[in-house]
């Protein structure tokens, strides 16, 4: 089902219980330039250099990197500037020099940033602003045929929201696996029954649907967020205000 974003939980603990995943939501429009500047020192040289090359939405990029460093530091009990990242062969970032794994994933769209963190399962998160696209053309080329049928069957006014519901779920799944969406979009088939998100996977993905849980949220009227967690046990998402770190 698609849910309104729950109220933020109080930030009182460093730990994540085994049946929880933490989600940090930040609206970069609520961060002042002074607040942003006061935290840029936690970023490394590569992050600052990349920010200098960004022409559009630079503020959200900086806010997302600061949030990620400071939130992860919150869990691993290190100064944020000492957090060290590496990437898998497919480009998925992970923490190095950690005794225990910390799984995380970051997404941002326009002014919104979402960071998912857990310590027991791979997770992927995606946030998207609903906007005009050639929905049927894209779906016919890249989505599963049953998803294309869902889109052709719905009203034109509902099509944009449904398209981005499917898109964010796919993005979240393949960000969790680390394989990326290229050549994979049609291999995951999502549909919605009795307020539940149902997933079916192509055999060549090597994934078992019962080992995954999916959640979806309406962040605001124009923004959707999807979460994929590689866990068969019941998972409870818990939301926090990313502004806590600024």
Task: Give residue 10's pLDDT.
Answer: 85
CB of 28 closer than 8 Å to CB of 113:
yes
Count of alpha carbons within 13 angstroms of residue 106, beta-carbon side: 20
CA 53 to chain CA centroid, Å, is 24
pLDDT, tens digit, 9 for 90 and up, residues 5-50:
888 998 766 688 889 999 999 999 999 999 999 999 999 999 999 9
Domain-located, residue 197: yes
Q: Which residues contact 183 (CB under 8 A, 6 or more apart)?
A: none
Domain-located, residue 13: no
pLDDT at residue 241 greater than cutoff 80: yes
pLDDT, tens digit, 9 for 90 and up, residues 113-163:
999 999 989 999 999 999 999 999 999 999 999 999 999 999 999 999 999
The CATH number for 224's domain is 3.90.470.20
pLDDT, tens digit, 9 for 90 and up, residues 149-203:
999 999 999 999 999 999 999 999 999 999 878 778 999 999 998 889 999 999 9
Neighbours of 14 (CB within 10 A): 9
CB of 80 closer than 8 Å to CB of 92:
no
Domain-located, residue 14: no
Domains: count for the chain = 1
Neighbours of 129 (CB within 10 A): 14
Q: Which domain holds residue 201?
A: 2-7+20-245
Domain-located, residue 12: no
């Amino acid at each position: 089902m698609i849910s309104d974003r729950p109220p933020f939980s109080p930030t009182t603990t460093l730990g994540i219980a085994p049946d929880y995943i933490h989600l940090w939501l930040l609206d970069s429009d609520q961060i002042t330039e002074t607040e942003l500047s006061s935290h840029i020192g936690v970023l490394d040289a590569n992050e600052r250099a990349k920010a200098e090359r960004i022409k559009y939405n630079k503020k959200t990029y900086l806010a997302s990197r600061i949030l990620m460093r400071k939130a992860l530091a919150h869990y691993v009990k290190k100064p944020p500037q000492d957090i060290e990242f590496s990437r898998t062969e497919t480009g998925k970032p992970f923490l190095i020099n950690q005794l225990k794994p910390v799984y995380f994933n970051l997404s941002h769209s326009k002014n919104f940033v979402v960071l998912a963190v857990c310590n027991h399962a791979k997770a992927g998160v995606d946030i998207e602003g609903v906007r005009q696209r050639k929905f049927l053309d894209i779906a016919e080329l890249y989505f599963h045929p049953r998803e294309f049928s869902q889109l052709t069957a719905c009203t034109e006014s509902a099509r944009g929201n449904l398209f981005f519901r499917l898109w964010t779920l796919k993005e979240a799944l393949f960000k969790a696996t680390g394989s990326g969406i290229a050549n994979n979009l049609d291999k995951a088939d999502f549909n919605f029954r009795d307020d539940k998100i149902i997933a079916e996977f192509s055999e060549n993905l090597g994934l078992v649907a019962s080992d995954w849980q999916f959640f979806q949220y309406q962040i605001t009227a124009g923004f959707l967020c999807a979460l994929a967690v590689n866990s068969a046990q019941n998972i409870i998402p818990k939301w926090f205000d990313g502004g806590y770190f600024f």
